[in-house]
Amino acid sequence: MRILAFPLITLLAFCPVSFAGDVSSSLRAAIQPFIEDGEISGAVTLVARDGNVVSHEAIGVSNLKSGRPMRKDDLFWIASMTKPTIGVAIMMLAEEGKLTIHDEVEKHLPEFRNLWMVSARSKNEMTLTRPARKITLLDLATHTAGIGNVNEPRLHSTLAEVVAMISQNPLEFEPGSRWKYSSSGTAVLGRVVEVVSGARLQDFLQARLFDPLEMKDTTFFPQANKAARVVTPYLKSDKVPSLTETEVSFIGDALSDTNRTVRPGGGLFSTAEDLLHFYQMMLNGGVWKGSRLLSKESVIELTRTQSGDIKTGFTDGMSWGIKFQVVREPQGVTAMLNPGTFGHGGAYATQSWADPVNQTIYILMIQRRGFNNGDNSPVRLAFQTAAAEALSK
């Protein structure tokens, strides 16, 4: 049995601590070569230990054309790093007795009754059968439900419309039998939050999570007064050999459009400091500045392995909690982390990880598309290695 201790560290110290200079200089030395080599335009890095921020750095530029220097409060599209907030929302509702993580999805969303599953597929035909059991909220939370990814039909679809469309697609495999990453599965969980709470997902998260945690810049819809702080994303790949300006595909010119479809699986923008508040609350066992948002038991459920022995992605040695990735066997890019470290990455290679053994938070904010694996990027490896080594001195 893995026992986690959650000291009640309720106030983050943003003043320097004894080894802050060493950590910051080490991180700058680790990140700067990637900027000079044209791998990224810039980065914001943040490391905290025992409730103290030991390093918070802005390196490089947020836009190559204008040369605007990167700022510590710049906003990044955090993409799939949105998913853990949905897990937290589900557990908040579980604590209120409005659902359990083992509920069948159809209990809350009747459109998921009588699902079909693909049992065989050839070039010209597909055979459908009924799955052996019904899908549960836990299946959705661990990406083991068999739900394939489905794009919303239009820019202004409601979450209810998107999820109704998802429900009409057959499952890709028996629930609970294997792992396949599914943002559509997270959309279904987001819709459950709406139905059970009676509030729009964005309103629930704002009132129950972002406001209490003082995550003042975290939003699905960055407004005009913050647009200048949104970091420009870049693409570099085998086919695009130098950093080329790109975009967040589902947004286009509609950054502040509050009628745009809410994406529970990857729609949030945030800052390093806001993410620090979220992960520090989790390390505190659900407490932020003396206020309890989650029970300690819920935090443990969110951040323990819930996916059993099923092999999961995106790097070796990982498992899945309730919308959090959980390190089971540290290796490679997670070698410097302890078992039980939890967090998530994003499509443009942003990363946030919290190590409960040594009470350390690692946050890397970059906007680079085109890595073969954003969770296994050389930038992440260099950042975490430099931070862990500096902290150990």
Q: Does a cis peptide bond (omega within 30 degrees of 0) precede residue 383?
A: no
CA distances from 38 to 32, 69, 199, 235, 244 (A): 10, 16, 44, 11, 10
Residue 13 has pLDDT above 90, yes or no: no
pLDDT in tens, 365-386: 999 999 999 999 999 999 999 9
Residue 108 has pLDDT above 50, yes or no: yes
Across 75-98, average pLDDT: 98
Give SS3 for 335.
Answer: coil
Average pLDDT, the chain: 94
Residue 344 has pLDDT above 90, yes or no: yes
Span of 211-215, 247-251, 332-336 with lowest mean pLDDT: 247-251
End-to-end CA distance of the chain: 31
Classified by CATH at the fold level, domain 87-203 comes out as Beta-lactamase (3.40.710)
List the CATH code of the domain at 20-84+216-392: 3.40.710.10
Torsion on CA atoms 136, 137, 142, 145, rounded to nearest 10 = 40
How far, in Å, CA of 331 to CA of 317, rounded? 7
pLDDT class of 254 with cuts at 50, 70, 90: confident
Residue 286 has pLDDT above 80, yes or no: yes
Predicted pLDDT at 122: 87
Predicted pLDDT at 20: 56
pLDDT class of 252 with cuts at 50, 70, 90: low
pLDDT in tens, 39-61: 999 999 999 999 999 999 999 99
Domain boundaries, the chain: 20-84+216-392, 87-203
Q: What percent of the chain has pLDDT over 70?
A: 94
Cβ–Cβ contacts within 10 Å for residue 389, how many? 14
Edge to edge, the sheet with strand 244-245 lists: 244-245, 234-235, 368-369
Q: φ, ψ for residue 392 (rounded to 5)?
A: -80, -10
- 20-84+216-392 matches 87-203 in fold: yes
Among candidate residues 213, 291, 294, 220, the one with its CA nearest the CA of residue 259: 220
How far, in Å, CA of 332 to CA of 311, rounded? 16
Torsion on CA atoms 316, 319, 324, 326, rounded to nearest 10 = -80
pTM of the model: 0.94
Which of left, alpha, beta for 323 (phi over 0: left; psi -120 to 50: alpha)? Answer: left
Asked if 94 contacts 384 with a C-beta cutoff of 8 angstroms, the reply is no
How far, in Å, CA of 8 to CA of 50, rounded? 10
Residue 15 has pLDDT above 80, yes or no: no
Q: What percent of the chain has pLDDT over 90?
A: 90
Residue 10 has pLDDT above 90, yes or no: no
Predicted pLDDT at 393: 86
How far, in Å, CA of 293 to CA of 175, rounded? 31
